[in-house]
Every structure is written in structure tokens, then in C-alpha cells.
């Protein structure tokens, strides 16, 4: 099945307009909330039109929670092994919400030392949260 490439181009242009409009609105509405970095991403497809995403990256978990509260974003954490000379793992606090047909992704991360990484591993084993012994 042949598709029209102009659908992808038009979709990408519309997605870029939505992302830039929302990005400006977020910055204007929340000048008191700090950000470490800010990015937008758009794509176009002959099948889906255009997709838009705004990425808000915070330096601290407190900043991330402040943004999440304002934008009504549910946050979750995930940890994964990330070995460097100063860390054994990385923990990421993140969440997403759809605003004005744009996905807003909010996140912050922190490096985790070896001892804390070991504790996190124990805490996530079955039975550990209920105070039971993990087998």
C-alpha cells in the first residue's frame, strides 16, 4: 500500500508547532520551577501523522516532584546497574503526561553507590517489602 509522504511532512510540522507552543507555555506558566535541561522531539509518519514530545529534566528529585505536582504527573522510580568509578547503579525518577496532544516526559536521575545498590537489590526481592526473608 502506497502512502503519501506529504502526510508525514505535514504531521511533523504540526507536531513541531504543538511542541513549541506547549514548551513556551510551560516555561511562562512555571518560571519558578528549575530545570537542568529542556528538549523537544517531533517525528512524522505517513501512517500516524506527527508525534510531539517535550522532555523536562531536573537536577534534583525535589525539583522533579515540584514539576510533577504542578503538571499532575505520577512518578515512578527504576534502578539499573551503571558502574563507574563513583557508582554501582543509577536510579531514575520519571513520569509522563499528555498535554495538548504533546507527551511531556519529566525525569531526574542520581548515581547510587555500591552499598545502597546492594540494599536496593534486597528491598526488591519478593517478601522483602513485607519484612519477610527473601529466599
45 in any annotated domain: yes
Percent of the chain with pLDDT over 90: 57
Is 129 domain-assigned? no
Q: How far is Cα 75 from Cα 72, in angstroms, rounded to an integer?
A: 9
Note whether residue 117 is domain-resident: yes
- Classify residue 134: in a domain, yes or no: no
Instruction: State yes or no: pLDDT of 7 exceeds 60.
Output: yes
Residue 40: what pLDDT? 93
Mean pLDDT of 5-32: 93
C-alpha cell at position 99 = 498535554
* Total number of domains constituting the chain: 1
pLDDT at 125 over 90: no
Q: Looking at residues 74-91, what average pLDDT do you find? A: 88
Residues 6+ apart with CB under 8 A from 48: 11
Q: Which three cell numbers stand for residue 114?
A: 555500591
Average pLDDT, the chain: 87
Domain span at residue 11 reads 5-123
Question: What pTM does this model have?
Answer: 0.81
In this structure, is residue 130 part of a structural domain?
no
More confident call, 126 vs 49:
49
Cα separations in angstroms, 95 against 57, 65, 103: 11, 10, 10
Q: In the prediction, which pLDDT does 127 show?
A: 60
The per-residue pLDDT for 135 is 34
pLDDT in tens, 48-59: 778 999 999 999
Q: Is residue 133 part of a domain?
A: no
Amino acid at each position: 500500500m502506497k502512502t503519501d509522504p506529504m502526510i508525514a511532512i505535514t504531521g511533523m510540522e504540526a507536531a513541531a508547532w504543538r511542541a513549541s507552543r506547549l514548551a513556551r507555555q510551560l516555561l511562562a506558566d512555571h518560571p519558578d520551577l528549575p530545570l537542568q535541561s529542556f528538549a523537544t522531539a517531533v517525528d512524522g509518519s505517513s501512517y500516524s501523522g506527527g508525534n510531539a514530545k517535550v522532555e523536562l529534566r531536573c537536577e534534583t528529585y525535589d525539583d522533579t516532584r515540584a514539576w510533577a505536582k504542578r503538571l499532575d504527573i505520577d512518578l515512578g522510580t527504576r534502578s539499573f546497574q551503571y558502574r563507574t568509578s563513583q557508582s554501582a547503579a543509577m536510579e531514575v525518577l520519571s513520569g509522563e503526561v499528555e498535554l495538548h496532544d504533546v507527551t511531556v516526559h519529566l525525569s531526574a536521575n542520581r548515581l547510587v553507590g555500591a552499598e545502597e545498590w546492594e540494599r536496593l537489590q534486597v528491598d526488591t526481592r519478593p517478601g522483602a517489602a513485607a519484612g519477610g526473608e527473601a529466599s
